[in-house]
Amino acid sequence: MTPASLADKVALTELANKLFMYCDAKLWQRLLDEVFTESIWFDVSSGGGGEAKEMAAADVCKLWNEGFDGLDAAHHQAGHYLITVNEDSAIIYAYAVATHYKKAATQGHTRTFVGSYDLTAQRTPIGWRLNQFKYNLKYMDGNVTME
């Protein structure tokens, strides 16, 4: 592994970590400024999120903000990154568990999503940015409706 390829893998790992950490902290502007390209291929169909399609990153952040409305906390734990770099594009595969917490829920305070992500990134003049977000749900557990 060359120093340049190692630097790319470190940068891409940090990019994936920013995705999950900024999402949990609801730092939507930082996601737009530091993580996503202007538009992304967005696919959450495995979790019932509708048809996969190209979306403006700002619309994805708006969708997530609305989805997190009413939650007291969200936590993603990601890892097992497998990263393939091909010059100015990269594929990032990741395992992740996401837990949502709502104190006021009466059927249980948490729901958990377990799955993997197929992310792609492109090298831009301002660094690596994600241009594809695909979630592969394995299963959900807990209070799925958060009621």
Q: Quick: pLDDT tens for 28-63.
A: 999 999 999 999 999 999 999 999 999 999 999 999
Residue-level length of the chain:
147
Name which of 50, 17, 22 is nearest 135 in CA terms: 50
Please say if the pLDDT value at position 15 is more than 90.
yes
Model pTM? Answer: 0.95
Query: SS3 helix, strand, coil % of the chain, rounded to 5?
Result: 30, 50, 20
pLDDT in tens, 120-142: 999 999 999 999 999 999 999 99
Q: DSSP characters for 11-75? A: HHHHHHHHHHHHHHTT-HHHHHHHTEEEEEEEE-GGGT----EEEEHHHHHHHHHHHHTT-SEEE
Q: What pLDDT score does 135 carry? A: 98
Q: What pLDDT score does 141 carry? A: 98
Q: What pLDDT score does 1 carry? A: 84
pLDDT in tens, 71-116: 999 999 999 999 999 999 999 999 999 999 999 999 999 999 999 9
Q: What pLDDT score does 79 carry? A: 96
Domains of the chain and CATH, by start: 3-142 (3.10.450.50)
Residues of the chain above pLDDT 70, percent: 100
